[in-house]
Amino acid sequence: MFHEVVGSQPEWVVTAGLGVAAFVAVACVFVAGARLFPDPPNRSRRVSGEEKRRREIRTYLGAVDQPFVEDHSLDGLQVAFYFPDHDVAVTFDPRTYYRLQRTPTTAVLVEHELPGSHLGARLPFDVPALDGPVDDPTTAAFAVLGLPVGASLADVRAAYREKVKEVHPDHGGDRDEFRRVREAYTTAKEHAG
């Protein structure tokens, strides 16, 4: 019976059908392999200058306990950081800075080379000073967790757990604040006493 059906079809139809079947079979093997054996994360990924600067600014703002929104859209423009309590926008882009000059929002232009902890001097409102060197990300990380520099690893872990309970998005917290706490924990953990 099969021979009769196959024999009645033109040869190219049979060949095309076999090709499609082979393609589907190979695709299934690749999908199954990708799910069973996923690629390991790329740990050698280089961090760009802007990513590093953003992380430094996030850590600094967390250390001085200043609320902000990251990657905020303002008057049709994208700004890196926005302080809603003060209507101040921080941007790395000079065009955005000059366009914001025509709005009621105060714009602050930050070069990529500026250390994140030096942002406080450029802001048009008072920011509390940090104890210790302001450009030390370790000091800022411990401050985010509410600990003195050099606290024990057990204290760092305990402070992290308590802070996460407050800021975790699943518990009504802010995603950016949660990210700051995680980054601070990673840094503090490396420098715990």
Residue-by-residue DSSP string for 51-94: HHHHHHHHHHHHHTT---EEEEEETTEEEEEEETTTTEEEES-H
Does residue 160 have a pLDDT over 60?
Answer: yes
- Cβ atoms of residues 59 and 140 within 8 Å: yes
Taking the C-alpha atoms of residue 90 and residue 112, their distance in angstroms, rounded to an integer, is 12
How far from 133 is each of 64, 124, 139, CA to CA, in Å? Answer: 13, 21, 7
Stretch 25-30: mean pLDDT:
88
Candidates 85, 92, 93; CA nearest to 126 is: 85
Contact by Cβ (8 Å): 156, 145: yes
Cα-Cα end-to-end distance for the chain:
80
Domain spanning 136-193 has what CATH number? 1.10.287.110
Ordered DSSP codes for 143-182: HHTT--TT--HHHHHHHHHHHHHHH-GGGT--HHHHHHHH
Reported pTM: 0.48
Tell me the pLDDT tens digit for each residue of 127-155. 877 655 545 677 778 888 888 888 888 99
Q: By three-state DSSP, how is residue 106 classified?
A: strand
Q: What percent of the chain has pLDDT over 90?
A: 20
- d(C-alpha 64, C-alpha 62), whole Å: 5
- CATH tag, 50-130: 3.40.960.10
How many beta carbons lie within 10 A of that of residue 114, not counting itself?
16
> What are the residue ranges spanned by the domains of the chain?
2-36, 50-130, 136-193
CA proximity to 80, closest of 117, 111, 101, 120: 111
Residue with structure tokens 């060197």? 133
C-alpha–C-alpha distance, residues 65 and 56, integer Å:
14
**192 CA to centre of own chain:** 24
Q: Which of 61-65, 66-70, 105-109 has the lowest mean pLDDT?
A: 61-65
Of 87-96, 112-121, 174-183, least confident by mean pLDDT is 112-121
